[in-house]
Amino acid sequence: MRKSLGTLAAVPGLILLSACGTDSEILAPETEDTQLNLDVARYVADVTADDILLMTGEADPIMQPGFGFAAANCEKRHNKKFRCDWKPFWNGNLSYSREVTFYDSNGEAMDYYDATETESVNFVISMSGTRTTEWMSMAVTRDRDFTVSGLYETETTRTWNGSGKSTRNRTRYSDENGDRTYDMSDTTTVTNVILPVPRRSDWPQAGTIERTVTLEIVAEENKSKTCDVLIEFNGEQYVPITINGVTYTLDLATRKIVEEDE
């Protein structure tokens, strides 16, 4: 059985964990470093859950026969790109725009999606707005350039690759350890994230997402940290997140960092 990690009081064992790399000359106390680690993990958990939703619930309707003619909210452009503005039902106060391009097995852009002839789809997505969860609220500005391939003829899996960035997401935490505010930025690299077809769950079978997260502590001038993050998918709901050598567990279903009960 697993339980979510909310505050340091709930997880005294985390006091021994190392912190992200410190860019400032000011060194935080050990407990503050540990809280920063956990806050970064929770931020990464939320961003990662959004990326998986983009690869599943938001991508699936695009890969339907006749999409280019049937999507009333998508403008078909002369360069064979479809421009769509929409607000997903699952994402609260975030607004999205996306540009979609279909490619055949020769890498040529197509006028529409074809269930057997289309080999890949490129998604260029921008999202902005606000997000509130149990422990945090944030202003969101994210960009993604993801491509899914393996669609040609009869599919057995779909493979995602791409990159992205988030710029100065003002993130506020409020819990029993007090109020904390950061400006979070990150870059993202998605490598061979594999989803089965037909899709039996939203859990990727394999692949990685690498992020570099930079946070600036709003209340403390000239204090910032940079964290190297690796998410490794394993076909399960619970996946490891490693942040500068410290490993957490992400529950993809709840967007929370969890630990095993003793």
Residue 222: predicted pLDDT: 67
User: What is the tally of helices (H) and strands (E) in the chain?
Assistant: 2, 15
Residue 2: predicted pLDDT: 66
Residue 262: predicted pLDDT: 35
Location of structure tokens 């403008």: 75
Domain range for 223 is 2-260
Residue 192: predicted pLDDT: 98
Residue 155: predicted pLDDT: 85
The verdict on pTM exceeding 0.75 is: yes
Name the 3-class secondary structure at 136: strand
d(Cα 65, Cα 77) in Å, to the nearest integer?
18
Low-confidence ranges of the chain (pLDDT < 70): 1-32, 65-79, 84-92, 221-222, 260-262
In terms of C-beta density within 10 A (0-12 exposed, 13-18 middle, 19 or more buried), how is residue 51 classed? buried
Residue 209: predicted pLDDT: 98
Helix (H) or strand (E) holding 150: none
| Amino acid, res. 136 | M
Report which of 13, 119, 131, 5 is spatially closest to residue 63, judged by C-alpha positions: 119
The CA radius of gyration of the chain, in Å to the nearest whole number, is 20
- Structural domains in the chain (count): 1
